[in-house]
A = this chain, B = another copy of it.
Protein backbone atom coordinates (compact mmCIF):
# COMPACT_ATOMS: atom_id res chain seq x y z
CA UNK A 1 0.00 0.00 0.00
CA UNK A 2 1.38 3.41 -0.97
CA UNK A 3 1.96 6.28 1.45
CA UNK A 4 -1.09 8.17 0.21
CA UNK A 5 -3.43 5.24 0.68
CA UNK A 6 -2.03 4.60 4.14
CA UNK A 7 -2.51 8.28 4.96
CA UNK A 8 -6.12 8.24 3.71
CA UNK A 9 -6.97 5.16 5.78
CA UNK A 10 -5.40 6.45 8.99
CA UNK A 11 -6.93 9.93 8.58
CA UNK A 12 -10.39 8.44 7.98
CA UNK A 13 -10.14 6.25 11.08
CA UNK A 14 -8.89 9.11 13.26
CA UNK A 15 -11.46 11.60 11.96
CA UNK A 16 -14.28 9.18 12.76
CA UNK A 17 -13.10 8.97 16.37
CA UNK A 18 -13.00 12.77 16.67
CA UNK A 19 -16.40 13.26 15.01
CA UNK A 20 -18.03 10.52 17.08
CA UNK A 21 -16.75 11.73 20.45
CA UNK A 22 -16.34 15.45 19.77
CA UNK A 23 -19.13 17.92 20.52
CA UNK A 24 -21.18 20.21 18.31
CA UNK A 25 -18.40 22.83 18.00
CA UNK A 26 -15.96 20.12 16.92
CA UNK A 27 -18.28 18.99 14.12
CA UNK A 28 -19.03 22.53 13.06
CA UNK A 29 -15.33 23.28 12.69
CA UNK A 30 -14.83 20.13 10.63
CA UNK A 31 -17.76 21.23 8.47
CA UNK A 32 -16.19 24.63 7.86
CA UNK A 33 -12.89 22.95 7.03
CA UNK A 34 -14.63 21.27 4.10
CA UNK A 35 -16.79 24.23 3.12
CA UNK A 36 -14.02 26.77 2.48
CA UNK A 37 -12.43 24.67 -0.28
CA UNK A 38 -15.65 24.38 -2.31
CA UNK A 39 -15.95 26.19 -5.64
CA UNK A 40 -17.14 29.78 -5.30
CA UNK A 41 -15.54 32.88 -6.78
CA UNK A 42 -12.33 30.85 -6.63
CA UNK A 43 -12.26 27.38 -8.20
CA UNK A 44 -11.76 24.27 -6.05
CA UNK A 45 -8.41 23.88 -7.77
CA UNK A 46 -7.24 27.32 -6.67
CA UNK A 47 -8.58 26.72 -3.16
CA UNK A 48 -6.65 23.45 -2.93
CA UNK A 49 -3.47 25.19 -4.07
CA UNK A 50 -4.06 27.80 -1.34
CA UNK A 51 -4.51 24.97 1.16
CA UNK A 52 -1.36 23.22 -0.04
CA UNK A 53 0.84 26.32 0.21
CA UNK A 54 -0.62 27.28 3.61
CA UNK A 55 0.03 23.74 4.88
CA UNK A 56 3.60 23.78 3.59
CA UNK A 57 4.60 27.10 5.14
CA UNK A 58 2.98 25.97 8.40
CA UNK A 59 4.94 22.72 8.04
CA UNK A 60 2.10 20.27 8.65
CA UNK A 61 2.80 16.97 6.85
CA UNK A 62 -0.68 15.52 7.31
CA UNK A 63 -2.22 18.70 5.92
CA UNK A 64 0.23 18.53 2.99
CA UNK A 65 -0.72 14.91 2.27
CA UNK A 66 -4.39 15.83 2.22
CA UNK A 67 -3.98 18.81 -0.11
CA UNK A 68 -1.47 17.08 -2.43
CA UNK A 69 -4.07 14.35 -2.83
CA UNK A 70 -6.87 16.86 -3.45
CA UNK A 71 -4.72 18.92 -5.87
CA UNK A 72 -4.11 15.81 -7.97
CA UNK A 73 -7.86 15.12 -7.98
CA UNK A 74 -8.60 18.70 -9.07
CA UNK A 75 -6.29 18.35 -12.05
CA UNK A 76 -3.37 20.47 -10.89
CA UNK A 77 -0.51 19.87 -13.34
CA UNK A 78 3.04 19.03 -12.27
CA UNK A 79 4.25 22.45 -13.46
CA UNK A 80 1.59 24.14 -11.32
CA UNK A 81 2.48 21.94 -8.35
CA UNK A 82 6.17 22.83 -8.66
CA UNK A 83 5.45 26.56 -8.90
CA UNK A 84 3.17 26.48 -5.87
CA UNK A 85 5.92 24.65 -3.97
CA UNK A 86 8.38 27.37 -5.02
CA UNK A 87 6.16 30.05 -3.49
CA UNK A 88 5.97 27.98 -0.29
CA UNK A 89 9.74 27.50 -0.29
CA UNK A 90 10.53 31.19 -0.59
CA UNK A 91 7.85 32.31 1.88
CA UNK A 92 8.60 29.56 4.40
CA UNK A 93 12.38 29.31 4.02
CA UNK A 94 14.68 26.33 4.37
CA UNK A 95 12.75 24.94 7.35
CA UNK A 96 10.03 24.20 4.79
CA UNK A 97 12.41 22.04 2.72
CA UNK A 98 11.70 18.73 4.53
CA UNK A 99 8.01 19.34 3.90
CA UNK A 100 8.60 20.22 0.24
CA UNK A 101 10.58 16.97 -0.06
CA UNK A 102 7.62 15.08 1.43
CA UNK A 103 5.17 16.78 -0.95
CA UNK A 104 7.30 15.84 -3.98
CA UNK A 105 7.49 12.23 -2.77
CA UNK A 106 3.70 12.02 -2.51
CA UNK A 107 3.22 13.83 -5.80
CA UNK A 108 5.42 11.27 -7.55
CA UNK A 109 3.36 8.47 -6.06
CA UNK A 110 0.14 10.11 -7.26
CA UNK A 111 1.11 11.21 -10.75
CA UNK A 112 3.25 8.12 -11.36
CA UNK A 113 5.44 9.89 -13.85
CA UNK A 114 6.62 13.47 -14.01
CA UNK A 115 5.55 15.25 -17.18
Contact = CB atoms under 8 A, between A and B. Distances in A.
Contacts of A94: 29, 33, 63, 90-91, 93
How many copies of this chain are found per oligomer?
6
A40 interface: yes
A18 B100 contact: yes
Contacts of A58: 57-58, 91-92, 95
B15 A101 contact: yes
Given A46-B46, A57-B57, A80-B41, A51 B14 contact: no
Contacts of A4: none
Interface string A79-103: 1101111111111111111101110
Q: Which 3 A-B residue pairs are closest in the complex by CB-CB distance?
A: A93-B93, A41-B79, A62-B98
